[in-house]
Structure 1
Amino acid sequence: MDIEGKNVLVLGGAGLVGTAVCREMLALRPACLVLASRQKSRAQAAAEALRAESLAPVPRMIPVWGDVFIRAEWQTPAQGAHPRAAALKDPERRRRLIADVLDPLDEDIKRSSLLTRIIEGRAPGLDGTRAQVIIDCMNTATALSYQNVYESAQRLADLAKRGLADPEWTEELEILLAS
C-alpha cells in the first residue's frame, strides 16, 4: 500500500500496538498522521513521544480523542464524568445509545458519530483533514464476542419498549445493551 503523501488515521494510536503502527507509518512518510485515543492525555503524550523519538522529519501529526462508540455531542459531559458513564446514567441518552448500536444505520447515526467525524475530518482539531488510510488498533474484544448479542438484545429491548419488562431491571438491561 502506498502511504507516502496520504492522510493516515490510527485508531487506538496511543496504545502499545497503536504506537508501534504509528512508528511504522512515520517511516512511510504520510502527509498527516492522525493519532486517535479515548483519552486526551494519552493521545497528546503519544504524539509528543513519537515526535521526540523520530529521526526523520515528522509530518503533520494530530492527536484526537474521545469515545468513538458514542455520539460526538456526548464527549464532554458535565462534572468531569466519563462520557460513556454519563450517557449510561441518562435514560434518554442510554436508549439513544442502544438504538445507535441496534437500529439500521441511518444518516442521523452516521452524522452524530464521533468515529465518522474523525474519518471525515470534522472532529475538533482536524480542520477538514479526511482520512485516506485507516488502521484500527483499538482493543474492542469482549467476553460476549462470540455470542449472538444482537438478536438477544433486540428481543429484550422490544420487551422493555412494550412495557413487558420488570421496571426493576429495565435500567440495568439498558446499561448492559449499551455496553
Structure 2
Amino acid sequence: MGISEVLAVFFGLMIVLPVLYLLFTNNIIRAAFAFVISLLGLAAVYVLLHAELMAVVQIMIYAGGVIVLLIFGIMLTKRVSEAGVFTQHRGVVLGGAVSTVFFLLLVKWILAAGLKWPNVEVSGQDQVRKIGILFLTDHLIAFEVIAFLLLVALVGAAFLAKKSGNA
C-alpha cells in the first residue's frame, strides 16, 4: 500500500467519521463543526486527485461560506431555552436502514464498474490558469452575464434589506 492509498484512506475516514458524529449528536453547533471537518477532508481528496481548483472552491465556498451562514443562522434563531441549541432525532432506524441499503448499492455499483486508483500525470500548465484563460476568452460572455446577475442580486438584496429595516 503506497502513500497515496494511505492518504486516501485517512481522508476518507476524515470525511465519514465526522458525518457519523453529526448524525448522532444533539448539539447543532458541534454538528456544524463536524461538517466542516468532513468538508475539509473532501478538499484533501480533491488535492489527491490533482483537482486543486476544486479543493480551493471546496474550502472557500463550502467550508468557509456555507458554514459561516449556517453558524449565523443558528446564532440568530430564537432559542426556546438558554441551555443551548439542540435537536431531536426522529426516524433514526428507518433513515439508517434506507441509508445502508443505498450505501450497499453504491458499493456494489462501484465494484462492478472495476474502478481503479488512477495514475494521474500532472500537466505542466496550471489548471487554474487554464480555466482563467478560458473564462476570459472562449466563455467571456457567460462570465460577464453571471457577474451582472450577481450584481443585480446584491443590489436587490440591499434594496429589500433597506426597505424592511429601520435604516
The interval holding the TM-score normalised by the smaller chain is under 0.3
> Greater strand share, 1 or 2?
1
Quick check: which has more Rg, 1 or 2?
Answer: 2
TM-score calculated relative to the size of structure 2: 0.23
Could you say which structure has the greater relative contact order, defined with CA pairs below 8 angstroms and 6 or more residues apart? 1
TM-score calculated relative to the size of structure 1: 0.22
> Greater helix share, 1 or 2?
2
